Amino acid sequence: MAETTRWFEDFHAGEAIPLGSHEMTREAIVAFARAWDPQPMHLDDVGGATSLLGALSASGWHSGCVLMRLFVDNLLAGSASLGSPGIETLKWLKPVHAGDRLTAVMNVLETRASGSRPRMGLIRARFDVTNQAGALVLMMRSTLMMGRRAAA
Amino acid sequence: MAETTRWFEDFHAGEAIPLGSHEMTREAIVAFARAWDPQPMHLDDVGGATSLLGALSASGWHSGCVLMRLFVDNLLAGSASLGSPGIETLKWLKPVHAGDRLTAVMNVLETRASGSRPRMGLIRARFDVTNQAGALVLMMRSTLMMGRRAAA
Residue A55: list chain B partners with CB under 8 A: none
In contact, A40 and A55? CB cutoff 8 Å: no
Tell which residue, B66, B67, B47, has the closest CA to residue B56: B47
Query: How many CB atoms within 10 Å of residue A37?
Result: 21
Question: What's phi and psi for B79, nearest 5 deg?
Answer: -115, 175
Q: What digits encode the pLDDT tens for the residues B22-49? A: 999 999 999 999 999 999 999 999 999 9
Helix (H, G, I), strand (E, B) or coil at B27: helix
CA separation for the pair B95, A92 (Å, rounded): 26
pLDDT for position B78? 87
E strands, B5-100, where? 16-23, 81-92
Q: What is the pLDDT at residue A4?
A: 84
DSSP code of residue B37: -
The pair phi, psi for residue B132, each rounded to 5°, is -65, -15
Q: Where are the domains of chain A?
A: 8-151
A142: confidence class by pLDDT, cuts 50, 70, 90: very high
Give the pLDDT confidence score for residue B4 in this predicted structure: 84
Whether residue B69 and residue A37 make contact (CB cut-off 8 A), yes or no, is yes
On whether the B8-25+63-151 domain is CATH 3.10.129.10, my answer is yes
- What is residue B15's predicted lDDT score, i.e. its pLDDT? 98
Is the model's pLDDT at A3 over the cut of 80? Answer: no
Q: What is the CATH number of domain A8-151?
A: 3.10.129.10
**Contact B90/A90, CB-based, under 8 Å?**
yes
Q: What is the mean pLDDT of residues B111-122?
A: 94
Beta-carbon separation of B85 and A72 below 8 A: no
**pLDDT at residue A130 is higher than 80:** yes
Alpha-carbon gap, residue A79 to B21, rounded angstroms: 35
Cα(A137)–Cα(A31) distance, integer angstroms: 20
R_g over Cα of chain A: 17
How many percent of chain A have pLDDT more than 90?
93
Query: For residue B139, what are the CA distances in angstroms to A10, A55, A66, B32?
Result: 31, 31, 22, 20
CB contact under 8 A, A37 and B92: no
pLDDT at B1: 52
Does the predicted interface ipTM exceed a cut of 0.85? yes
Q: How many Å apart are CA A123 and CA B19, to the nearest integer?
A: 34
Which residues from chain B sit within 8 angstroms of residue A76, using beta carbons? 39
Write out pLDDT tens, residues B38-79: 999 999 999 999 999 999 999 999 999 999 999 999 999 989
In 3-state terms chain B splits into helix, strand, coil percentages (rounded to 5) of 30, 40, 30
Query: With 70 as the cut, is the pLDDT of residue A149 above it?
Result: yes
CA separation (Å) from B99 to B22, B30, B55, B66? 10, 12, 12, 14
At residue B93 the predicted structure's pLDDT band, cuts being 50, 70 and 90, is: very high
Residue B18, CB-side half-sphere exposure with 13 Å CA sphere: 5
A125 has a pLDDT exceeding 90: yes
For chain A, first and last CA: distance in Å?
15
Distance of CA A66 to the CA centre of its chain: 6
pLDDT for residue A87: 98
pLDDT in tens, A67-122: 999 999 999 998 999 999 999 999 999 999 999 999 999 999 999 999 999 999 99
The C-alpha of B32 sits at a distance from chain A's nearest C-alpha, in angstroms, of 10
What share of chain B has pLDDT > 70, as a percent? Answer: 97
